[in-house]
Amino acid sequence: MAQAENILISVEYEHVLKMLTGAKTAELRRRPLRIKPGTRVWVYSKLPRGQVELVAIADKIIAASPRQLWDLYQARIAISSTEFKAYLSGVSAGCAILLRDIKPLQPALKLTTLRRTSRNFHPPQFFKRLFDHGPELRSLWPSVPPYHQADAAY
């Protein structure tokens, strides 16, 4: 079985909380992501929290018009129509990452810790691929719930 790919995305803390409660199971992006279903998605809470707080599995990656995304996934996106329209304003196609198996990291991994293992680390604006045996993934791995470790290299 092929190993899962890993990416890191940055999200506002209010949305991370909704993910952890199960209220938010779809994450929006203004551009389509070129990732495969089964990709492990690490979620970084933007400053002032500044830490990787959870991991999930990308179940599906949907590129569609904002209208289609809203019609299909509004209940899973967990933001208001006004917030949705403002976020996707000016784009003809957005992207929804449908998430499953959302689990908190225990403990969360702070930005300062990531920078100790990867000096040039910067939280991603869009997303960042994490590579097997790379410093970021090595730092994250001890905090992963066992369920997500089944197909990992460590």
d(CA 85, CA 88): 5
Predicted pLDDT of residue 138:
77
Cβ neighbours of residue 129 closer than 8 Å, sequence gap 6 or more? 5, 6, 7
Three-state DSSP at 66 gives helix
d(CA 129, CA 84): 26
Predicted pLDDT of residue 11:
96
Least confident of 117-121, 137-141, 142-146: 142-146
Q: Which fold has domain 6-147?
A: 2.30.130
Mean pLDDT of 84-103: 97
User: What residue type is assigned to position 95 of the chain?
Assistant: C
Predicted pLDDT of residue 67:
97
Predicted pLDDT of residue 25:
98
The pair of three-digit structure tokens given for residue 150, joined into one six-digit string: 């089944």
Higher pLDDT, 6 or 139: 6
Nearest to 12 by CA among 47, 42, 52, 55: 47
Q: What are the residue boundaries of the structural domains of the chain, listed by start?
A: 6-147
Predicted pLDDT of residue 116:
85
Distance of CA 20 to the CA centre of its chain: 12
pTM: 0.87
Tell me: pLDDT of 94 over 90: yes
Quick: pLDDT tens for 34-91: 999 999 999 999 999 999 999 999 999 999 999 999 999 999 999 999 999 999 999 9
Predicted pLDDT of residue 143:
66
